[in-house]
Amino acid sequence: MKRTRITLNTCGAVAWFTFGLSVCYGASRLGLGNITDPGPGFIFFWSGSILTLLSLMLLFNSLQETAPEDRETGRTNWTKVACVLAALLFFAFFLEKLGFVFTTFLLLCFLLGVSGGKSWLPVLGVASAAAVGSFALFELWLKIRLPKGIFGF
């Protein structure tokens, strides 16, 4: 007898199903209007419904899977991914407070030194040159306004 396997695809399909239903619920609260005069939630409701239906199809397919998943989830270094994402959130949080140059310098030090595994001296040199260089490129040459922060640059 074929045994049903709970795979990552199954969990993903359940997540999508929940998302689809949530969209439908949110859309119904926005107001669907009627067919002659569709309301703000109309497109969301129908999109959410289609998404729910598709996630059910995905769920059904995933429950039929018998071969082991060949997905190479192990290839990605998840610890590094988490560290880099945390660094990017740090960058977003402090960008306007500390200014572009200083925040960029810290971010590049982290990405090159901690994540990239480079030795500190070249990292400091490259990070500072890149922070100042990118400020000059974007702010001065391309006229993109970058945040100055407490240091004024």
Q: Is the dihedral of CA 12, 17, 18, 19 positive or negative?
A: positive
Q: Kindly state the helix (H) or strand (E) to which residue 8 belongs, with its residue range.
A: helix 8-30
Judged by CB under 8 A, the chain residues 27 through 86 that form the site for other proteins are: 30-31, 34-44, 47-48, 50-51, 54-55, 57-58, 61, 71, 73, 75-77, 80-81, 84-85
* End-to-end CA separation in angstroms for the chain: 68
Judged by CB under 8 A, the chain residues 107 through 136 that form the site for other proteins are: 107-108, 111-112, 115-118, 126, 130, 134
Q: How many Å apart are CA 31 and CA 45, to the nearest integer?
A: 9
Q: How many Å apart are CA 135 and CA 151, to the nearest integer?
A: 14
CB 41 within 8 A of CB 30: yes
- 102 binds other proteins per the rule CB under 8 A: no
Residues lying near other proteins in the complex (CB under 8 A) are found at: 8-9, 12, 16, 23, 26, 30-31, 34-44, 47-48, 50-51, 54-55, 57-58, 61, 71, 73, 75-77, 80-81, 84-85, 88-89, 91-93, 95-96, 104, 107-108, 111-112, 115-118, 126, 130, 134, 138, 142-147
